[in-house]
Structure 1
Amino acid sequence: MEQVEKIWTEHYPKEVPKSLKYEEKTMQEFLKETASKMPEKKALHFLGKEMTFDELYEQALKFANFLKEKGFKKGDTASIMLPNCPQSVIGYFGVFLAGGVVVQTNPLYMERELEHQLVDSSATFILCLDLLYPKVMNVKGKTKIEHIIVTSIKDYLPFPKNLIYPYIQKKQHGIVVTIEEDSNTHKLKSILKNYEAHELSIEVSPDEIALLQYTGGTTGLSKGVMLTHNNLTSVTTMCHHWLYKNNDKENIVLGILPFFHVYGLSTVLNFSALYGAKMILLPKFDAGDALKAIDKHKPTVFPGAPTIFIALLNHPKIKDYDLTSIQACISGSAPLPLEVQEQFEKVSGGRLVEGYGLTETSAVALANTVWEKRKLGSIGIPFPDTDGIIFSMETGEPAKVNEIGEIAIKGPQVTQGYWNRPEENEASFKDGWFLTGDLGYVDEEGFFYIVDRKKDMIIAGGYNIYPREIEEVLYENSKILEAVAAGVPDAYRGETVKAYIVLKEGEECTEEELDAFCRKHLAAYKVPRIYEFRDELPKTAVGKILRRALVDEEKEKQKKVN
């Protein structure tokens, strides 16, 4: 039986159209419209302090006016290096209102990672947390950064938390950073105090680039995925219709997923701007804090990852909190275990379904229906106006039903391509289809399944990690002769990073030494959790290290243990 075109639409709820109507507007136009329609509606809640959509739009305009005065032009790129907080939302829309392109930057990045992203994106402005200011200054001279805008978590804390925070910061991080303003260093607090919220007449087309969202590269260097305003608004429109039972309700979205990850950006921040939902922002994930937030603020929509749901279920005091406000959860970034799905639905009374997407698809492309048919182990069916196909690994043609091949996607949420990467673009697209690099199959009813990854990417705790990047760091250690990194099964993170090491003759090294070495050069989530020292590594006849053989070896060990 041949794969049938769009057979999956038979499983759409009657409330979800097969094709949607998309408004030709930019992200900033949607925010302006929302602020105009519901100015007093709460846009966000952050650790006790709230902000209306009118206030958010006004502060974003002030930031945009600052950018323009400092020479920021339409099409320029600006980096935002913040956790989930009001400033990250203000900066995001401020850059859009100034006609610019946002570069979301992970606050966990080490200097070498930060330098690469800033250089590659040609960012001229960066908005960062005060704790990250020294790191930014250390790489500034190697980049095109002209202006650094600094903010502190305490700037948006209510009294008396704002007075207490510096002491907490010093206790947690050992430092309190003092910022001296000059012609190139600015405090966001001063900008919002001194600039007017003038409307700017900068025309931006919805098909222009809005976001450079960096993802790992198979070569070890991250690459910028170009996402347009249309990409971002179309996927948000799809999510809105998929959650059709919530359309006429007061939606409150739990913002645990970080905005520097496209999943959190699309399902929390952009969703809020387009549909006037209130965001509950948490700057970092802590299971206890998350449970308190759910109990107190009653979110209705909860985008998350399996590790988040697992941590909440395993919290010793989960029974002390009321989670019944939650109506819909879409889990992404890693496979969702059945027992996690069933347990979380039991304690919340809501629905938790698995979805699938990539940075290149603006976060989501497929998902199980929330209130209708779903299949265990399946990543679901394509969203409205989204096509999915399996290309045979043998013939390169469309595969038959249940035949394993490479998953490819086509739809209005799919990227235009990679920033300054013509070779990558050539390899990643085929006749208009984006090749995901994931291997899977589609069944007789049009439900898709993932079985493996064509690329060597590791997904640990929802983060995409590329082995080559870790290996390059390990090879900088003078004691190491050979090194390979691989993802191995982990009950909590889905996968975790393991490094296999061959030392040079006569050298000695411990796991502790390598851990300390890696932490100097890699974000914490990329650092190997396990090290194994070997006399030699498996190789092909031409000397290429067989990473897959090591992964298979680990799987066999797991089988014996279980």
Structure 2
Amino acid sequence: MTSLYAARPWLGQLTEAQRAPVSPPASVVHAFRAAVLRAPDRTALAYFDGRLSYRETDALSDSVAGHLAARGLQPGDRVAIMLQNTPHFVIALLGAWKAGATVVPLNPMYKSAEVGHVLGDCEAAALICSDRAWEAYLRDTAAASPVRIALTACELDLQSRDDARVLAFERVPRPADTDDLLAVARRGLPAPGGREPAPDATALISYTSGTSGTPKGAMNTHRGITYNAERQRTGHPIPEGAGYFALAPLFHITGMVCQLAVCAANAGTLILAYRFHPGVGGDAFVEHRPAYTVGPSTAFMALAAAPGVTREHFASFRVISSGGAPVPPALVAKFRDAFGPYLRNGYGLTECTAPCASVPPEREAPVDPVSGTLSVGLPGPETVVRIVDEEGAEVPFGRQGEIVVRGPQVVPGYWRRPEATAETFPDGELRTGDIGFMDPDGWLYVVDRKKDMINASGFKVWPREVEDVLYGHPAVREAAVVGVPDPYRGEDVKAYVSLRPGAEATPEELSAYCAERLAAYKYPRQVEVLAELPKTASGKILRRELRSRH
């Protein structure tokens, strides 16, 4: 049977430049060194009032690589990095890669048991973290793991503002049982020879969030990272040397690829602000005038609600992308009306090294007239996205099914999980677990996660559809919809919302608002208003945490 999707109808929506082949560098290290040759004195990293040039960052990371090699780190060994968006993260990352290591990024919000699982599962040889985290609990966690090399840093270093909105902590005494990351970096050691990253080597073991079981490590290759970075660099009209604001955390695949890797490929300035805070971010936009940023829709909701944020804060941006969480059409409209930029939707997973579909800069995503869902964009020219049914057979354009992806950015599998790899990547194609559809022109629409579907008296309810309606209410800032147990219907639809500053709305009012716009089995009969909805560090709303309340 001829495949509908193999014809790649989305190619007709792309420009000739966007369809053209790309030649990505072998690794981010290769891209960074090329930037050093082109612009050695350009600022590579801006951290509040701190600045490091490409030449300085290259030398500092060389020395970290030399130190790791001298401590016995071998090519292919795993180095876990648990730091916020600071220059220390980038220096450690480049240093580990220059030493031939595979990097394991860790969420700084992880607790001891979560870190311990990852360190043991990947058999980490080294851990690089903050002094505070080491003293608080990571010393004991590392002692019970394979870690034999530890470097720590104070994230107050390399800047002098100590912005209390995000840097609300004090220095701790230097741990006596670790090496100081900056002291090592300033030692002037050369990087070891013969350890250049190979394109097909594993660059990252990126652990999934564990929403459906024990976290698994997706093996992102150097080639996969630079392919997606180069596709983004050539597809976005951003001048070389421009500023990239790191809104998404660098330990997350979106921040790693769409901010750090793209910035290096474009010899740009990576603007760091420890962690996302709307006020801090707004100040950084005015100070550094970035041309690009990417983050979840929740971050842009927070920016839109922050006091004092105006159109002027966004005046320098050429492209703003949103990924990692669905973007309601109402948010796109509100954001453009208030601040000017159009939020460009995108879609990807850790398992496909961030994006596999996005909205080109000169286009706007269509809204499906039936469901009201905003498209997440068009696949790239070397990517094939298909929609399949429960048996894996393709469904026609416009019909919902599971999204599956094949392309150069798809990872080869999970770290030491052959059964999970075989299940998720049959014949090298990624089964995403997301439900969506594609229109005849190649625009992709994501409906929801397969496992998040609500079954109310036998009727399927997708939370995303209800959430999009709630976002149309002027008082709603954030919304999440989950299924909760119901003795009669099996499951009932419940909505959790947070309100915009100064806005008021009762649960009854919000339920009635939805009832006017949705079928009787879809609208939430239960609505609960919270001050904040629980989120991951990358900004995704945690539906599973809301479900666990029941």
Is TM (by shorter chain) over 0.5?
A: yes
Secondary structure, counterpart of 2:174 in structure 1:
coil
User: Which residues of 2 match residues 537-548 of structure 1 at below 5 A?
Assistant: none
Q: What per-residue deviation string (whole Å, max 9, x for no partner) do you get for residues 324-366 of structure 1?
A: 1011111111111223212333444433211100000111000
Which residue number corresponds to residue 361 of structure 2?
370
Q: Residues 402 and 431 of structure 2 are in contact (CA less than 8 Å); yes or no, is this contact kept in structure 1?
A: yes
Which residue number corresponds to residue 478 of structure 1?
none
The 1-side partners of 2:338 and 2:4 are apart by: 38
Q: What per-residue deviation string (whole Å, max 9, x for no partner) do you get for residues 527-558 of structure 1?
A: xxxxxxxxxx5699xxxxx9x82557988563
Which residue number corresponds to residue 38 of structure 2?
37
The answer to whether 1:391 aligns with 2:388 is yes
The 2-side partners of 1:276 and 1:448 are apart by: 31
User: Across the two proteins, how many residue pairs are aligned to each other?
Assistant: 479
Residues 105-114 or 20-29, more deviating: 20-29
Secondary structure, counterpart of 1:213 in structure 2:
strand
1:204 to 178, 191, 197: 197
Provide closer, same or farther for how the CA distance between residues 331 and 219 of structure 1 changes in structure 2, counting only shifts above 3 A: closer
The 1-side partners of 2:235 and 2:121 are apart by: 36
Q: Residues 291 and 321 of structure 1 are in contact (CA less than 8 Å); yes or no, is this contact kept in structure 2?
A: no
Provide closer, same or farther for how the CA distance between residues 178 and 169 of structure 1 changes in structure 2, counting only shifts above 3 A: farther
Q: What per-residue deviation string (whole Å, max 9, x for no partner) do you get for residues 43-74 of structure 1?
A: 11101111111111110000000000000000
Which residue number corresponds to residue 145 of structure 1?
147
Secondary structure, counterpart of 2:46 in structure 1:
strand
The answer to whether 1:425 aligns with 2:421 is yes
The 1-side partners of 2:203 and 2:453 are apart by: 26
Q: Residues 238 and 384 of structure 1 are in contact (CA less than 8 Å); yes or no, is this contact kept in structure 2?
A: no
Q: In the alignment, residue 325 of structure 1 is paired with which amino acid?
A: S
Residues 134-143 or 227-236, more deviating: 134-143
The 2-side partners of 1:87 and 1:553 are apart by: 40
The answer to whether 1:223 aligns with 2:216 is yes
Report the CA distance between 1:372 and its aligned residue: 2.0
The answer to whether 1:72 aligns with 2:73 is yes
Residues 20-29 or 86-95, more deviating: 20-29
Q: What per-residue deviation string (whole Å, max 9, x for no partner) do you get for residues 480-511 of structure 1?
A: xxxxxx9995854553789x7xxxxxxxxxxx
Q: What per-residue deviation string (whole Å, max 9, x for no partner) do you get for residues 156-204 of structure 1?
A: 113xx4xx68xx699945x64222334xx11112212334234533243
Which residue number corresponds to residue 8 of structure 1?
10
Which residue number corresponds to residue 83 of structure 1?
84
User: Which residues of 2 match residues 31-430 of structure 1 at below 5 A?
Assistant: 31-133=32-134, 134-158=136-160, 161=161, 172-173=168-169, 176-182=171-177, 185-198=178-191, 200-217=193-210, 219-243=212-236, 245-246=237-238, 248-319=239-310, 321-376=312-367, 377-393=374-390, 395-430=391-426
Provide closer, same or farther for how the CA distance between residues 90 and 493 of structure 1 changes in structure 2, counting only shifts above 3 A: farther
The 2-side partners of 1:144 and 1:250 are apart by: 40
CA-based RMSD: 2.9
Q: Residues 399 and 437 of structure 2 are in contact (CA less than 8 Å); yes or no, is this contact kept in structure 1?
A: yes
Report the CA distance between 1:290 and its aligned residue: 0.9
Q: Residues 253 and 300 of structure 1 are in contact (CA less than 8 Å); yes or no, is this contact kept in structure 2?
A: yes
Residues 289-298 or 369-378, more deviating: 369-378
Q: Residues 65 and 200 of structure 1 are in contact (CA less than 8 Å); yes or no, is this contact kept in structure 2?
A: no
Residues 374-383 or 57-66, more deviating: 374-383
The answer to whether 1:495 aligns with 2:491 is no
Secondary structure, counterpart of 1:417 in structure 2:
coil
Report the CA distance between 1:561 and its aligned residue: 6.6
Q: In the alignment, residue 138 of structure 2 is paired with which amino acid?
A: V
Which residue number corresponds to residue 491 of structure 2?
549
Provide closer, same or farther for how the CA distance between residues 422 and 170 of structure 1 changes in structure 2, counting only shifts above 3 A: closer
Report the CA distance between 1:3 and its aligned residue: 3.2
Q: In the alignment, residue 10 of structure 1 is paired with which amino acid?
A: G
The 2-side partners of 1:551 and 1:152 are apart by: 46
Which residue number corresponds to residue 533 of structure 1?
none
Secondary structure, counterpart of 1:303 in structure 2:
strand
Identity of aligned residues (%): 27
Q: In the alignment, residue 402 of structure 2 is paired with which amino acid?
A: E
Unaligned ranges ≥5, structure 1: 459-485, 501-536, 541-545
The answer to whether 1:558 aligns with 2:500 is no
Unaligned ranges ≥5, structure 2: 368-373, 455-462, 471-475, 497-520, 529-550
Report the CA distance between 1:153 and its aligned residue: 1.6
Q: What per-residue deviation string (whole Å, max 9, x for no partner) do you get for residues 10-42 of structure 1?
A: 11124312x422235122122111111210111
The answer to whether 1:450 aligns with 2:452 is no
Q: Residues 239 and 267 of structure 1 are in contact (CA less than 8 Å); yes or no, is this contact kept in structure 2?
A: yes
Q: In the alignment, residue 407 of structure 1 is paired with which amino acid?
A: I
Report the CA distance between 1:384 and its aligned residue: 2.5
Report the CA distance between 1:294 and its aligned residue: 0.7
Q: Residues 169 and 176 of structure 1 are in contact (CA less than 8 Å); yes or no, is this contact kept in structure 2?
A: no
Provide closer, same or farther for how the CA distance between residues 268 and 142 of structure 1 changes in structure 2, counting only shifts above 3 A: same
Secondary structure, counterpart of 1:44 in structure 2:
strand
Q: Residues 452 and 482 of structure 2 are in contact (CA less than 8 Å); yes or no, is this contact kept in structure 1?
A: no
Q: What per-residue deviation string (whole Å, max 9, x for no partner) do you get for residues 231-257 of structure 1?
A: 1000101111221x22x4542111111
Secondary structure, counterpart of 1:357 in structure 2:
strand
The 2-side partners of 1:558 and 1:497 are apart by: 9
Q: What per-residue deviation string (whole Å, max 9, x for no partner) do you get for residues 77-108 of structure 1?
A: 00110000000000000000000000000000
TM-score using structure 2 length? 0.81
Q: Residues 82 and 106 of structure 2 are in contact (CA less than 8 Å); yes or no, is this contact kept in structure 1?
A: yes
Provide closer, same or farther for how the CA distance between residues 198 and 261 of structure 1 changes in structure 2, counting only shifts above 3 A: closer
Q: Residues 481 and 495 of structure 2 are in contact (CA less than 8 Å); yes or no, is this contact kept in structure 1?
A: no
The 2-side partners of 1:234 and 1:170 are apart by: 33
Q: What per-residue deviation string (whole Å, max 9, x for no partner) do you get for residues 388-425 of structure 1?
A: 000122x4211111111110001111101000111111
The 1-side partners of 2:60 and 2:218 are apart by: 28
The 2-side partners of 1:539 and 1:126 are apart by: 49
TM-score using structure 1 length? 0.79
Q: Residues 98 and 191 of structure 2 are in contact (CA less than 8 Å); yes or no, is this contact kept in structure 1?
A: no
The 2-side partners of 1:228 and 1:202 are apart by: 15
Secondary structure, counterpart of 1:375 in structure 2:
coil
Provide closer, same or farther for how the CA distance between residues 69 and 496 of structure 1 changes in structure 2, counting only shifts above 3 A: farther
Residues 196-205 or 373-382, more deviating: 196-205
Q: Residues 392 and 403 of structure 1 are in contact (CA less than 8 Å); yes or no, is this contact kept in structure 2?
A: no
Provide closer, same or farther for how the CA distance between residues 553 and 236 of structure 1 changes in structure 2, counting only shifts above 3 A: closer
